[in-house]
Amino acid sequence: MKKIFNICLVALLALASCDKVDDLPSYGEGTASVLTASAISVAPVPADSSNTVLRLNWTYSGHSTDSSNIKYTIEIDSVTKNFSNPFRRVVMGALTDTFTAKQLNSYLLDRGFAFNVPVSMEARLISSYANNNERIISNTLAISMTPYKVPPRVGLPAGSRLWANGAALPWSWTGAPPVESEFSRMNNETWGGIFDFSANNQFLVLSQNGGTDPYDKKYAVPSNQVPGISTSGSFGFYPPGTGGDNFVAPGSGGWYKMIMDFQTGTFTISSFGSNALPQELYILGDATAGGWNNAPPPAQKFTRINSAEFEITVALAGSGAYKFISSYGNWQPQFGGNAATGGTLGANYGGGSDPDAVPAQTAGNYKINVNFLTNKYTVTRL
């Protein structure tokens, strides 16, 4: 009996020593902020670079915490992306933020948008606690943004011409590389070429062909030990004695396209495809003097003007059509298109369907350019 009494006493003492726990605090849910903008169209000029061109304001979100601890995340993206890869900026506590022309312009250019072309963008705001709990999305604003032109990160080559030279190329290191070493100018800041690289070998890009020392005017990479440098990276101009490493060809030899973008100071090297680049080109067809003959007269041979382009001036009849071949006396490889003034270049390297024949215009002399880098042809009446 005494034992039972002791057990009961211990239990009563234990209950007496337990304090009642207060109810956990309950916080109300926040509300979506209302986002507004100082402008629905932003089109600054370079002189506005440091100026504020856009201000975003929003209402208090009502999260149950000190206002300084509320996290507001601004997101800006193009209308087609659904905020899948937005520009983001975090603001703590404040109900406003500003953007300079340079900040917006850098974002637009990094996304590859063209100079002076309006882009349909949209902005939204996500409010939350500092730890990202209770994320509430605001309304979405449509804002047109136009990037302005900025100076290229790498100075353009003197004379506006470039050549590839080095052990990775068939002509190796030579003081005057051949015509097929020259890049094609794609626009004011971009050059591209198509080259037959040998695996893992090195080369330079020169802005001078021949002369006392063409290697004095070289474009190179800061370091060729960076992973992935054989397919992409940054480059710069290196005067004598200033360093710079050689470019490195990809690990698998073959035909590659190399694009050098001076605006961004970056380059890419990508496969040209499974077919070799044509080394000659001829025009044939019933709109030409030689007719449909795969061994056309010498006057119907194109002139190669660089690594990727061929050009010819030729008299064409006012009826009929024509195509191009790259192997004299053979019907393939064969090239053509369906537009009289130029367009996408169709091809049959063998075993496939032949491309359309280019329809003739009125009788006269024409300049025809075939560009394997852009896969386009143009026809210009003289």
Q: Where do we find the tokens 């490493």?
A: 245
Given a contact cutoff of 8 angstroms between Cβ atoms, the answer to whether 257 and 270 are in contact is yes
Please say which residue of 224, 247, 271 terminates a domain.
271
Q: Quick one: 173 and 258 in the same domain?
A: yes
Distance CA(317)–CA(190), nearest Å, equals 36
Going by C-alpha positions, the residue among 115, 187, 109, 112 that lies closest to residue 373 is: 187
Q: Quick one: 260 and 332 in the same domain?
A: no
Q: Quick one: 188 and 105 in the same domain?
A: no
Task: State the residue range of the domain holding 357.
Answer: 282-381
Q: Quick one: 352 and 261 in the same domain?
A: no
Please say which residue of 119, 145, 171 terminates a domain.
145
Given a contact cutoff of 8 angstroms between Cβ atoms, the answer to whether 225 and 144 are in contact is no
pLDDT of residue 19: 52
Residue 29 included in any domain: no
pLDDT of residue 177: 93
User: DSSP class of residue 234?
Assistant: E
Measure CA 131 to chain center: 35
Confidence (pTM): 0.73
Residue 5 included in any domain: no
Residue 25 included in any domain: no
Q: Quick one: 84 and 138 in the same domain?
A: yes
Tokens of 234: 């940054």
Residue 258 belongs to domain with CATH number? 2.60.40.3620
Q: Quick one: 167 and 241 in the same domain?
A: yes
Measured CA angle at 140 (ends 66, 86), to 5 deg: 85
Given a contact cutoff of 8 angstroms between Cβ atoms, the answer to whether 232 and 267 are in contact is yes
Residue 328 included in any domain: yes
Q: Quick one: 141 and 205 in the same domain?
A: no
pLDDT of residue 12: 46
Count structural domains, the chain.
3
Distance CA(48)–CA(11), nearest Å, equals 79
pLDDT of residue 181: 97
Q: Quick one: 114 and 164 in the same domain?
A: no
Residue 209 included in any domain: yes
Q: Quick one: 256 and 329 in the same domain?
A: no
Please say which residue of 123, 145, 167 terminates a domain.
145
Residue 27 included in any domain: no
pLDDT of residue 28: 56
pLDDT by 10-residue block (mean), the chain, 382 residues: 45 47 56 94 92 95 82 94 91 93 90 90 93 92 93 92 97 93 95 97 93 85 96 95 94 96 96 95 98 97 98 97 98 97 96 95 97 97 95
Residue 152 included in any domain: no
Per DSSP (E only), the strands in 93-186 are 96-100, 119-129, 136-137, 141-145, 163-165, 184-185
Q: Quick one: 44 and 138 in the same domain?
A: yes
pLDDT of residue 106: 87
Find all residues with CB under 8 Å of 261, minimum gap 6, and list them: 189, 190, 267
Q: Quick one: 123 and 214 in the same domain?
A: no
Q: Quick one: 135 and 83 in the same domain?
A: yes
Residue 313 included in any domain: yes
Distance CA(102)–CA(157), nearest Å, equals 26
Residue 106 belongs to domain with CATH number? 2.60.40.10
